[in-house]
Amino acid sequence: MTDGVVPEQTALDFDRATSDSGTSDRAAGPDRGAMIGRGLLWLAKWSVAMVAIAAGAWVLGWLVGEFWVILLPVVLATIVTTVLWPATRTLRRFGVPPALASLAVMLLFFLILGGVIASIIPSIVAQAPDLVTRATQGVTQIQTWLEGPPINLRDDQIDTAIQQASQELQSRAQAIAGGVFSGVGAVGSTVVTLALVLVLVFFFLKDGPSFIPWVRAMSGARSGRHIAEVFERAWDTLGGFIRTQAIVSAIDAVFIGLGLILLGVPLAPVLITLTFLGGFIPIVGAFVAGALAVLVALVANGFTTALAVLAIIIIVQQVEGNVLQPLLQSRSMNLHAVVVLLGVTAGGSAFGIIGAFLAVPTIAIAAVVLRYINEQISRSATGEPDTVGAAVDPADLEPPADTDGDTAPADAAPAPGGDTKS
């Protein structure tokens, strides 16, 4: 070379420079293409997992729809059992045989329910004709108002609208008749469902305490203790929901009913009962029951009384919704109001009134399962020992039979999810 540089030395310097450049690139960080590839792979895995979860949810929803005629009595019987179990447990602790205790509590429950129904029927029979008359007068007043300023409708326009409505009703007579016959079938199905609920409630109260030990024995020591723990927590949550809603509904019914009685609104016992029952459907039930009370007051007593009833309902429900219910539900369910509202809406859209009623306890139980799974994940991540079911006596897996043929102590919890802690 003219500059005196040896070619071999030049090649060696080039290789060293290339090596130094690669080392600096590696020191600067991993390759961008590799990072993007790992990110896409992570996204693909989670996308497949989400699709699988969505498919599983769809299959689960389809199965629930297919077996709804069986699942509904079981769910309703479970809810009724949470109401009747404390009294049944008390009788069993005093030595009353399980079958007799269950039957006695059920009879007492239906006597109370029948007494409530019998007490409101006379008021319906006595006040319904007057309410119909007042409603007719209200329609006449509305027609008179429509004929005056500022609307100024003529009689022939009102008659035309009424005739069109009548023709539309007649044109749908066939559909209405079909709905009536389907309603008759629905009534028959309802009777069968209620009968099945009664039978299931009796057996849940009588033989329920053997459910948790049976689950442990059938599922094995490792998985059985987790399943039993989830069932017990779900049972506690469900019982807390029923007690909370009963307290809240009773307070609404007492104060709103007191206002209805003082204002002289007809059918007050019926409206009080509907207010109490509507409280078991959070948010939506209270709104519907309140709207019905305002409507009856408007038809029977006029605008001023209806406005007073509306003010009473708003005040009571605001105090209950912002003070009492959050305080009680935070202890029993720990669910946000938005979750409750969306759950009630979805349940009502899918399964009607029953779906709206069952939405909140279903969400609460699902939250119990998710929280338990999160607890187990946290224990595994931190290396904490799993203490769930650690204190369970192996003898509990096969409980001794009692004199009545039952397989659990009298103070154990009933079936679906029994309360073995009591």
Q: What is the distance between the alpha carbons of residues 225 and 6, in angstroms, rounded to a whole number?
A: 80
Give CA separation, 41 vs 47, 142, 292, in Å. 10, 68, 57
Q: Tens of pLDDT along 380-403?
A: 888 777 666 554 444 444 444 444
Could you tell me what percent of the chain has a pLDDT over 90? 11
DSSP notation for 66-95: HTHHHHHHHHHHHHHHHHHHHHHHHHHHTT
For 157-210, write each residue's pLDDT tens digit. 767 776 776 666 556 545 544 544 444 455 567 788 888 889 999 998 888 888
The pLDDT mean for the chain works out to 75
What are the pLDDT digits (tens) for 252-294?
889 998 999 999 888 888 888 888 888 777 666 777 888 888 8
Predicted structure pTM score: 0.63
What is the C-alpha to C-alpha distance for residues 314 and 306, in angstroms, rounded to an integer? 12
Which residue from 343, 395, 383, 345 is spatially nearest to 365, judged by alpha carbons? 343
For 7, the enclosing helix (H) or strand (E) is helix 7-28
Question: Which range, 27-41, 173-187, 319-333, 392-406, has the best average confidence (pLDDT)?
Answer: 27-41
Cβ distance 354 to 194 under 8 Å? no
Confidence category of residue 25, pLDDT binned at 50, 70, 90: low
Given this model, what pLDDT does residue 271 score?
85
